[in-house]
Amino acid sequence: MTTLTGATDTLTRNALAVLQPGFIGTTAPDWLLRRLGEGLVSVGLFGRNITSPAQLAALTAQLRGAHPEVLVAVDEEGGDVTRLEARAGSSFPGNLALGAVDDTDLTRAVARELGRRLAECGVNLDWAPSADVNSNPDNPVIGVRSFGDAPDLVARHTAAWVEGLQSAGVAACTKHFPGHGDTAVDSHHALPRIDVDLATLAERELVPFRAAIAAGSKCVMSAHILLPALDPAFPGTLSPAVLTGLLRAPESEGGLGFQGLIVTDGMEMRAVAATYGIERGSVLAIAAGADAICVGGGLADEDTVLRLRDALVKAVVDGELPEERLADAADRVRALARWTAEASARGAGAVPPAPEIGLAAARRALRITGAEGYTPPDESPYVAAFAPVANIAVGDETPWGLAAELEGFYPDTATGSWSREQAEAAGTAALVERVLGEAADRRIVAVVRDVHRHPWMADALHALLVARPDTVVVEMGLPQAPPSGALHIATHGAARVCGRAAAEVIAGRATDG
């Protein structure tokens, strides 16, 4: 192991302990196993690392062979953001669907089953749930990942989700503190800014986080957002005022009194990396009060781990980062690792399976307009999917839509996917003519996501409905626009089970869940 002059073995082990890196491949590379033996405690998994439950279980067993108490983290929200089922679509609806049902027992049961499946595969830390209040319906990064736009609703479902997940022995990581719901910028691309006063923050953004902490959330993830009312200089992840002065400070001093693990959002996201770089950003984050550095969504190699380790060691040696702060952060990571190991030893993951709970929840989340007088198609329909650019948190590989689910009822279902680029290149009228030509005399099912945010999509849908009033419309994002079409189905998310539930209605095979 290379070390800087003045560094001790304890210091370098602590620097490794606070990192949560990713890697490439479906088996652990030698360098990762070696670093787990040198002090690394956590590993982050992404869709690229997972092909099946059996493969994932083998991978986590391999990691535990190098470190028995390793924290294996994954970004598994259910709904649109899934890593367990990145290639097939999730078996669980996301937060917006659960918020639409507004049954906390259901939310708790869904999170428990999701946690059971994670634990069965050896994953013990979930970077979820999203506790953001989606107060800005034009938010490009949260949307259906939020339980809704009402703080109290988001709070009670966040608490239920945390309780359900952790009852299965998997640590919850409530995000994105202090709240990413009122942003119009995706922090993967740039630094969002929320200009609200402290009173609004307390009455809106912080309400779900207080509930999560009261429910025992083991972790909280920081957001790369600038809140001038708290800190005009640094984004939340790098701000002592946000992490230490607000999240960690006792309630008697106006804080939230959180004593668990504070994890950063991905440090390679441009909201931080473009200004500070990942090394400087990581030092500032630990100094501000973060305990673990999430990195590896894009940067996933040994060089990244060593660069961050050495930057933290150098900051301590140079007197920029107190050694006690780094040691405290490392101890918090190890404490969580012990909790997950003890939970596993108690058999916390051995909860009764509930394999159909996700589909049942998706069915209950549907909101249907125009069902009276609706007649299912006699022949296979044509699905016109108007596709916006994928949210980076979702990923390009995760499928969405209805065609695959409708094929279970109509094997000859045809489909076409239409983008903004096509609409702008051809013009709305020409695009709709192409849709009508492909559909011919089939019933058209138009699938949209957040149609209120995309003028090109709204224009195309309107023109299509003028030409074919019998079109079925399925909104798989935020249902902000007024219902339209002969039949309108709002699914509150684009998970596979949401598509299945909508397909059942279209085919006249709907059940009570």
Residues labelled as active-site residues: 188, 265
Specify the DSSP element, H or E, that contains 361.
helix 357-365
Given the structure tokens 């009228």, which residue do they identify?
429
Closest by CA position to 173, among listed 322, 38, 399, 339: 339
Specify the DSSP element, H or E, that contains 329.
helix 323-345
How far from chain centre, in Å, is Cα 193? Answer: 20
Structure tokens at 485: 């079409």
Structure tokens at 7: 């560094």
**Nearest-angstrom CA–CA distance, 255 and 51:** 42
How is residue 351 annotated by DSSP? P
Closest by CA position to 174, among listed 140, 207, 137: 207
Specify the DSSP element, H or E, that contains 21.
strand 19-21
**Nearest-angstrom CA–CA distance, 509 and 427:** 37
Q: Which residues contact 262 (CB under 8 A, 6 or more apart)?
A: 219, 220, 221, 222, 243, 247, 248, 289, 290, 291, 292, 332
Q: Which residues contact 433 (CB under 8 A, 6 or more apart)?
A: none
Residue 63 CB neighbours (<10 A): 21
Contact 67, 41 (CB under 8 A): yes
Closest by CA position to 198, among listed 214, 178, 221, 180: 178
**Nearest-angstrom CA–CA distance, 9 and 175:** 33
Phi-psi region of 441 (alpha: psi -120 to 50; beta: other; left: phi over 0): alpha
**Nearest-angstrom CA–CA distance, 332 and 291:** 7
Contact 141, 393 (CB under 8 A): yes
Contact 449, 475 (CB under 8 A): yes
Contact 391, 140 (CB under 8 A): yes
**Nearest-angstrom CA–CA distance, 135 and 139:** 8
How is residue 396 annotated by DSSP? S
Contact 370, 486 (CB under 8 A): yes
Sign of CA dihedral 120, 121, 125, 130: negative
**Nearest-angstrom CA–CA distance, 399 and 476:** 13
**Nearest-angstrom CA–CA distance, 51 and 54:** 8
Query: Which phi and psi (to 5°) does residue 474 adopt?
Result: -120, 115
